[in-house]
Amino acid sequence: MPTNPFFQSKGFQRLLVMAFIVLVLFAMRSVINIILITFIITYLMDRLESNITRFASRWFRLNRKLVVIVLYALVVIGLGIGLYRYFPKIVMQISQLLKLVNEFYKHPPQESEWFGYLFNALKDVEISKYVEQGVEVLYKYVTNIGKLSFSIVISLILSLFFLLEKERIIAFTSKFKRSKVSAIYSELAYFASRFVRSFGKVIEAQFLIAAVNCVLSVIALWIMGFPQLLGLGLMIFLLGLIPVAGVIISLIPLCTIAYSLGGITLVLSVVVMIVVIHAIESYILNPNLMSSKTNLPVFYTFIVLVLSEHFLGVWGLIIGIPIFMFLLDVLGVTEDGTKQG
């Protein structure tokens, strides 16, 4: 009995495997935070270990496992010091920033007619509502230290064991290539390699860009005399993980605080700072950290962010673009039309 060639094609098999992966992830949605954090930590730490080992190999040979243990020890020590010394200050500063922003929107200044018009326009589009919701989400994530700490600790342990036994895990997993599920294994291996190549690299670039933006912004805000720099720094870093939109979202609370502290002059200073830092990101960081093939038009970026936030929540703002780049990679879009194997 003849069968439809479509159902026997490689593309259809690949589609079935991808649907299976989506169903498995949906079934594991209760622990999706741990899965995502584990992957991000594992990828970033593996890249850091590889760069350190490769750099040191010019003069002497380093034991890979020793480098991994030292890196994780430094991370644990840093987290411990941060939680003990700075976390209470960050929570207090974020609370103060929330009060300052809420007070500003409840009692807006009326010294300037054009500013009153602008503020009423912002109220009409309910931007203050979105800003308040965004800051509240940030506040909940920071203050819900118990759940967040548990996810981070489990993710650190899982990623540590993975990197320490990386060779054994790869060798054991490769045995499935000669098993009765070899067809499924080959497709999973294909998706895994594409996922690491596209999703991982975009996430790495987002973290590096967010870190640079955070450092430059905090230095500039310190020079301008802003208070609560720890809370502002955390906000800028987390919003910096959101491509393009994060800059715009962070601009609103920063301008609000600037107007409360120093009027329109300080607001203009903040706008100039954001423009300069965004220019550094667009013309220096992005071209060096991301290839031109991963730079999406702004329209596509916002569409992906809106849809990913709708389906994935807050996580969607961070991983929406990497997931989209992964799908483009699978479809061959990022290969300039080159056929994928």
Q: Which amino acid is at 293?
A: K
- pLDDT tens-digit series, residues 240-268: 887 777 777 777 778 877 877 777 788 88
Residue 101 has pLDDT above 90, yes or no: no
**Is 341 part of a structural domain of the chain?**
no
- Domain interval for residue 262: 30-335
Taking the C-alpha atoms of 135, 37, 217 and 243 in order, what is their torsion angle to the nearest 10 degrees? -80
**Is 2 part of a structural domain of the chain?**
no
Q: What is the DSSP letter of 110?
A: -
Cα 61-42-232 angle, rounded to 5 deg: 110
**Is 12 part of a structural domain of the chain?**
no
Distance CA 13, CA 6 (A): 9
pLDDT (0 to 100) of residue 106? 62
**Is 25 part of a structural domain of the chain?**
no
Task: Mark 311-331 as b/e (b = at least 16 C-beta within 10 Å).
Answer: ebeeebbbbbbbbbbbbbbbe
Residue 98 has pLDDT above 70, yes or no: no
Q: Which residue has the tokens 């850091």?
A: 48
Name the pLDDT band for 113 (thresholds 50, 70, 90): low
Pairwise pLDDT comparison (249 vs 114), residue with the higher score: 249
* Cβ atoms 211, 234 nearer than 8 A: no
Q: How many domains does the chain have?
A: 1
CA 178 to mean position of chain CA atoms: 37
Name the pLDDT band for 340 (thresholds 50, 70, 90): very low
- pLDDT tens-digit series, residues 291-327: 544 567 777 777 887 888 777 777 777 788 888 888 8
pTM over 0.85: no
**Is 24 part of a structural domain of the chain?**
no
Q: What is the DSSP letter of 338?
A: P
What mean pLDDT do residues 28-56 have?
86
* Cβ atoms 230, 87 nearer than 8 A: no
Task: Reduce the secondary structure of 37-57 to three states and give it as a string.
Answer: HHHHHHHHHHHHHHHHHHHHC
- pLDDT tens-digit series, residues 174-201: 888 888 878 788 888 888 888 887 788 7
**Is 8 part of a structural domain of the chain?**
no
Residue 140 has pLDDT above 60, yes or no: no
**Is 45 part of a structural domain of the chain?**
yes
Average pLDDT over the chain, rounded to an integer:
76
Helices and strands, number each (H, E), in the chain: 16, 0
- Give the sign of the dihedral formed by CA 79, CA 80, CA 82, CA 86: positive
* Cβ atoms 237, 82 nearer than 8 A: no
Name the pLDDT band for 141 (thresholds 50, 70, 90): low
**Is 92 part of a structural domain of the chain?**
yes
